[in-house]
Amino acid sequence: MTVVSILRDATVRRALQAEREASRALTDAIVDNMPAAIYAKNSASDRYVFVNRAFEQLSGRTKAEIVGKTWGEIFPLDDLAEYRNYTDRAMAAVGPIMLDRTITRPDGMVRQIEATKIKSVGPDGQTILLGFAQDVTEEREANERLAYLAHHDPLTGLLNRTRFGEIVDDCIASGGTPAVICLDLDRFKIVNDLYGHAAGDEFLVEAAQRIVTTARCPVARLGGDEFAILVADSETAGRIARRTIDTLARPFGIRDRGVGIGASAGVAIHQAGDADDGDLVLRNADLALYRAKNDGRNQWCFFEPAMDDAARERRQVEADLRSALERGEIHVEYQPLADAQTGRIISFEALARWDHPRLGRIAPAMFIPIAEESGIMPDLGRLVLEIAANEAVTWSPELKVAVNLSPAQMDDDGIVAEIGAILKQSGLSPTRLEVEVTEGMLIKDTARGIRLLTELRQLGVSVAMDDFGTGYSSLNYFRTFPFDKVKIDQSFIRDMDENPQSLAIVQAVIGLGRGLGMPVVAEGVETSEQLDRLRAEGCDVVQGYHIGRPAVIDSFKNGAVLDHPKMAATG
C-alpha cells in the first residue's frame, strides 16, 4: 500500500486568520468601549444580539440581562407601543432615522436619550437593526432650567419682567383691555438692614406667595421688592389691588418676630387706541404706584393722565437740579431751636431751599427725594454744609448750627475728612457744628456707623439722632451709637394730645434722655398747647413753626437772637 502525503504551507493562512481575529477583537473592543450606547437586534426575532458597555450603563442592565431577549422582556410594557412604532419606522426607512425617546432603568429612573436607528445586514446575511443612543438627560434638564430662568425670577419662581411683558403684549394683541397692578413693599429696605439679606429673601418669597394666592392672576417680580399683576378682567383690578394691599399689611414672621411693612400699588388699564405693546400700561401703573407712595403708602390708586404730566415735570426737575447747584439757585434757610423752659434761641438747623427760575419755590419734599434717587445728594449736602459753616462763623453770639447728613453722604468713607476740611476752610469751630443722622443710615452696617460717629465726635462735632420713633427704633441704639442728642419725630408731637400712645412715647423718650444725660429735642411744635405739654414733661429743646419758621438768616439778625452784622463786627 502506498501512502501519499500532501503538505501545504499554512503559515500565511494562519497569519491572515490571526490578523482577522485580531482586527475583529480590536473592532469589538472599540465598539464595546465607545461612549455612545450601541446595540444590535435581529429583526426577525426582535431579540438583542449585541450591546456595548455604554448601553449597559444607560439601561442599568448587564449584557447577560439583555442579549437574547426582546424589548418587552426587558423594559416596562408601558413603553412597548412607542418602541414598536419607532422600530417599524426604522425598518421601513431607506436610511437612518433619529428620534427622542426615554428609557426606564430597573430603579425606575427615566433617562432622556437621543437615538439613531438604521436597518443593516449581519455577517450571516440576516437583517439587523442597529441603534446608537446618547444620554441627554442632564443636558435637557440644564436647557430646561435655562429656559425657565429666562422667563422666571429664580428667587420667588414668579414670572420675570421680560416674560410678564410678553404676556401683557399677547393679551393686548388678542383684543383684550387688561389692567396691570404694580406693587412695591413700603419698608422692605429696613428688613434687609435689620435682619440681613437672607431674611430679606425669605420675606420676598412669602410676599410673592401671598400675592399669588390673593390675586389668582399672572404675577411677576419686576426686581427688588417690586411686583406686577396682570388682570385680564380690568373691572376687577381695583378689588384685587385692595385685597393684595390688605394681605401684605399683615405682619410677616421673621426670626420669631412679627414684622409689618405694608405695600403700595398703582393700577393702569390699557385703553383702546393706545400702543399695541404693554410698555405703556406698565409705565402708567408705575406712575400710579409712585403717586400712591407719595400719598402716604399702604394704599393704591388708579393711573390718571395728569400723572404723566407730573412725571415729565419730575424728570425736568431732576435735570434742572443738576445745574441748579452751579447756577446758585440753591440757598439755605435756618430754623431756630429754643430752650423749652426759657424760650431762648440756642441753635439753628440749616435747610436747603430751591427757587426755580420757572417753577418758583420747589418744596424740599419734592426735590430732596429726587436728589437722593439721582445721585445728586452728596453734592447738595456738601453745598449746604459749606454755606452753613461760612455763615455760622460770623454769628454773635456763637450759636450752634445743625446740618442733616444724607444716606449717600454717610456711605462715603471720606465724609469725616470732608467735614473737617470744610470746617477748616470756613474757620468754624467743630464744637459749633452738629450733624443729624437717621437710624436707617446706621443699622445696615453697625460697625461702620459706630466708627463714623466716633470719628465725628473725635473731630469735635456733636451727633444727633433725627426722627427717633420712626422705622425700627430701638433703645439699643443709645447703648451702641455715640449720640449727643435725640430728636423726637414730629408725628408723635402732632398726635400726642389726641393719641395716648404717642404721648406715652414722648414721655418715655424724654425720661430716657434725662436718665442718660442726653438732651431731647421735640420737632414739629406748632401750638402753644404742645409747647406747654412738653415743658410740663421736662423736654429740653423744641423746634417747629410755633418757635420759628425756616427763614433767611438775616431775619434773625435783629439784635434779639443774633447781633446785627455791624454790632458783630465791632463787638
Number of other CB atoms surrounding residue 53 within 10 Å: 16
Domain boundary at 87, 108, 140, which?
140
- Which whole number is the average pLDDT over 311-339? 84
Cα separations in angstroms, 23 against 40, 120, 268, 336, 527: 20, 21, 76, 103, 107
- The CATH number for 359's domain is 3.20.20.450
Nearest 5°: the CA angle 88, 94, 98 is 65
Q: How many CB atoms lie under 10 A from the CB of residue 385?
A: 24
Mean pLDDT of 319-333: 86
Same domain, yes or no: 248 and 372: no
Mean predicted confidence (pLDDT) in 285-294: 84
Kindly state the average pLDDT of the residues 514-531. 91
Which residues are bridge partners to 429 per DSSP?
A: none
Q: E strands within 171-311?
A: 179-185, 219-223, 226-231, 252-254, 257-259, 263-269, 300-302
- Write out the residue range of the structural domain in which residue 66 sits: 21-140
Residue 377, C-alpha cell as written in the block:
445728594
Largest alpha-carbon pair distance within the chain? Answer: 161
User: Same domain, yes or no, for 463 and 522?
Assistant: yes
Please name the residue that has the C-alpha cell 465607545: 34
Average pLDDT rounded to a whole number, residues 333-352: 94
User: Which of the residue ranges 22-26, 190-194, 356-360 would you say has the lowest mean pLDDT?
Assistant: 22-26
Please check whether residue 150 lies inside any domain of the structure.
no
Say if residue 27 is in the same domain as residue 101.
yes
Examine the domain organization and report whether 206 and 249 are in the same domain. yes
Burial of 331 (0-12, 13-18, 19+ CB in 10 A): middle
Number of domains composing the chain: 3
pLDDT at 567: 40
- In a shared domain, residues 430 and 540: yes
AA identity, residue 34? M
What is the per-residue pLDDT for 277?
65
Q: Is residue 29 part of a domain?
A: yes
Write out the three cell numbers for 517. 444725660
Full-model pTM:
0.57
- pLDDT value at position 476? 64
Cell matching residue 403: 446740618
